[in-house]
Structure 1
């Protein structure tokens, strides 16, 4: 499987999204994916499935260096102390001593972005998050992160398919060599319905990078 290099990490271009996967079914799906060659697993604290994913990763007994694990901090936990608590909880549930990529899951109007990215960059400096990034960021928010704060953004994970025009975001990312990670890449429904209804871990399991 091809890998893409960004901000010091090398991640497979195809990954298993686990949104709406739960419990034993989630564990079984991740174990099955790993058995057929998947090495990129995408989760989030909001998905409430990091524990079964951690169990699946442990059961697979693959060398840690072969795995790429992404998780995310929810928008309600963007204060510095809350980020650290959420991150520590995610590591414990995943049974890992580090994640490969840690993302801000959704923007928050009340976030102090300087403090948010300072905290994330410290996690990166500590080696507990090999890279940091964002999800669902507009070009305006990307400019704050990349140009004002100069955070080492490894990717922006957004809804991306033929029925949703993301050309402005894509152009901004491309100009700065920041990968776009797509969720719902094959969807033909309005964006909010896609996020609420579809399950990247079931009907649309793949995240595609470009």
Structure 2
């Protein structure tokens, strides 16, 4: 893989990761409720799921899903159910007031719970496996050893994703300062809940 190819990959991934999706929405909402620093565990969970998906695609798991539509459907329906569940829970959550430090006065979550939640969000979309399987090989030079190239691409993807987690996390913490009124907090909860449900319904229509 040439330096020119890597730069093309980096630019594509930079734009892709910055696009709002379930992971970024989860990071932002966690930062609204608990602050960016305490949401690092949620970011780590999302990132672990992403790296696992990229590695699974590189090792051929996506080919198994493409060859087994029934298995893909099982994973897809599980992902849909989880995203819709998150949306309904966010929609119905209490409009807890925000304190002067920009954090919601809600019960705290432990770092392991934050990590598990982020990982579940990140792993809930089997379509990501298909995307990674189609996207990563486009930047692999078949004339050179493939494993080092895949390692570079996965590392680049992970670092870029972490950068955008930080952006969304800081943005969520700043946004919390504007949600000091219960009415605004309720509107935010319903907006994010609706978006999560939308993500789930979009996944429902996907095919391998």
TM-score, normalised by the number of residues in structure 1: 0.25
Higher radius of gyration, 1 or 2: 2
TM-score, normalised by the number of residues in structure 2: 0.25
RCO comparison, higher one (Cα < 8 Å, 6+):
2
